[in-house]
Every structure is written in structure tokens, then in C-alpha cells.
């Protein structure tokens, strides 16, 4: 890291007040000291972190899920994903979520990358995990979770991302990363 960069950019936490505690997230308002000595307020959504899985079949298809997302008011096409339970390891979470949501298990697993979903206000860290050697089974979605499982050729899914048909950010990143990796194999 460039010398002095932290002194020029990093904010120091002065105080923190939790204003909401939900089932999945917490919201807090932090007071921070800016590098110039002034103070500012930051609203922060605290999230336990999650995984997003890129399940690829031997035929080059992506296993995806369709589900209604209340916040958007739309049925979205997404990669399987889910929240980590406490200190659950990302690969353990990915195995559990893939099987629950799609019924598939995988013989090969690889962490591709990790990324923050919206670092301007949220600390959620997602792990993008590639799953290959898929074996089809029976889905066991969580109570209250209604999912339609579909398979789409990877190239078609990439086209759908670029045309705006696929709008979910984690899915867009996963599909485009999968396409880039596929081009280099």
C-alpha cells in the first residue's frame, strides 16, 4: 500500500449506535472522524456474509433459480446463493445452499473471488464459488422459499446479463466471471 494512504483516506470510528436488529441484518449509525479532523455520520447495514454459487453442468449449462424478490417487486433469475450461518465456512455454506435450493450436489468446488455487495453502506462480503461435477437430486428449499430451478447455457446467460434480462448483481458477476474463465480453458 502506498505510504501515507491510510492517513489520507481512513476514517476513525468515534461511536456507534444500533438502530435496528432484524432476523438477517442490523443497522447502525456510526460517527466517524474524517482524515481532516471533522466528523460525519455513516449508516451501516451489518450482514453475516453469504455465498453465491456458479453451478456448471458437464454440458456447459448454468443451474439457476427463479424467485420473487419483494424488495424489487420482480421475479428474478439468479445463481443459487445464501447467507452464512455464524462462522460457517464459505465452502460449507455453498454445499448446503446448492443442495437446498436446487437439489444438486457437486464433486468439485473452487472459490473464484470474494467481493462486497454495496460497500457504500453495507459490510456484506460474498464469496463466488464454482461448482462442477454436478449430481442432480431433490431440492429442499427453506420454509417460505418458493424457487423454480432452471438450466441455461453459459453463453446464453452471459447474453442475458448484457441485455439486462438478468439484473441481480451477484448473478451478473458470477455469470461474467464464469464466461471469462470458460474462455481461458
Q: Active-site residue 143, yes or no?
A: yes
Burial class (CB in 10 A: 0-12, 13-18, 19+), 157: buried
Query: Which whole-number Å values give the CA distances from 133 to 65, 72, 81, 110, 152, in the listed order?
Result: 19, 33, 18, 12, 16
- Which of 2, 59, 143, 185 is the catalytic position? 143
Phi, psi of 97 (to 5 degrees): -65, -40
Task: For strands 125-135 and 50-55, give the pairing.
Answer: parallel
Using CA atoms, how far apart are residues 93 and 47, in angstroms rounded to an integer? Answer: 15
Residue 85: helix, strand or coil by DSSP? coil
Annotated catalytic sites, by residue? Answer: 143
Amino acid at each position: 500500500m502506498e505510504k501515507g494512504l491510510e492517513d489520507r483516506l481512513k476514517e476513525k470510528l468515534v461511536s456507534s449506535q444500533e438502530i435496528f436488529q432484524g432476523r438477517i441484518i442490523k443497522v447502525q449509525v456510526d460517527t466517524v472522524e474524517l482524515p481532516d479532523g471533522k466528523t460525519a455520520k455513516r449508516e451501516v447495514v451489518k450482514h453475516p456474509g453469504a455465498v453465491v454459487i456458479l453451478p456448471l453442468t458437464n454440458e456447459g449449462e448454468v443451474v439457476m433459480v427463479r424467485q420473487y424478490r419483494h424488495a424489487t417487486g420482480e421475479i428474478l433469475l439468479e445463481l443459487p446463493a445464501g447467507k452464512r450461518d455464524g462462522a460457517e465456512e464459505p465452502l460449507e455454506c455453498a454445499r448446503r445452499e446448492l443442495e437446498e435450493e436446487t437439489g444438486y450436489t457437486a464433486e468439485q468446488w473452487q472459490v473464484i473471488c470474494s467481493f462486497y455487495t454495496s460497500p457504500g453502506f453495507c459490510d456484506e462480503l460474498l464469496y463466488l464459488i464454482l461448482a462442477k461435477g454436478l449430481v442432480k437430486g431433490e431440492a429442499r428449499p427453506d420454509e417460505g422459499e418458493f424457487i423454480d430451478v432452471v438450466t441455461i447455457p453459459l453463453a446464453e446467460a452471459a447474453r442475458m446479463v448484457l441485455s439486462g434480462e438478468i439484473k441481480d448483481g451477484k448473478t451478473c458477476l458470477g455469470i461474467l466471471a464464469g464466461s471469462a474463465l470458460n474462455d481461458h480453458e
